[in-house]
Copies of this chain bind each other. A is one copy, B any other.
Amino acid sequence: MASFSFRRAGPDDLAALVALLADDPIGRERESAGTPLDPCYAEAFSAIDRDPNQLLAVADRDGRVIGVLQLSFIPGLTRRGMWRGQIEGVRVAAGARRDGIGRAMLEWAIEECRKRGCGMVQLTSDKRRTAAHGFYEALGFRATHEGYKLAL
């Protein structure tokens, strides 16, 4: 396994991040990965970056972005005021998918949630992404909930 590190995403990563999100059978239809980059992404990056409860993280190998995920730290009243860490938008570059990077990214993210005092980590996974389900279960996640979505 080649070495890689995790770090907070910066504005210079944005084009690579959008390319990564679009390089996926489900993501392809949802993103606008053309050049120049659609300004909606710079706006979104800025909203994430200025919110102290959001952390957009990249896996970096030799200066190349090979993975991304977003962590949201959510305060709540339930369960005695428990904070939740929520993971969204997990993607690993096609050429890096057999290198254990996905697993290492998730383990890193879970540890970040622990450091922030979260009592739970949660994520939803499209029921069509059957290969991902075994991956999350191997990390200790349990599909105890239905994930409901309503498009506006």
Contact = CB atoms under 8 A, between A and B. Distances in A.
A127 B147 CA distance: 10
Contacts of A114: 152
B80 A31 contact: yes
A10 to B, nearest CB: 13
Nearest to A20: B77
Interface stretch (A59-67, A94-102, A133-141): A133-141
Given A27-B78, A31-B79, A76-B48, A120 B40 contact: no
A80 B19 CA distance: 12
A2 interface: no
Q: List the 10 shortest-distance A-B pairs measured between CB atoms, nearest first.
A: A44-B81, A145-B147, A47-B75, A141-B148, A124-B145, A147-B147, A143-B146, A40-B81, A121-B150, A78-B89
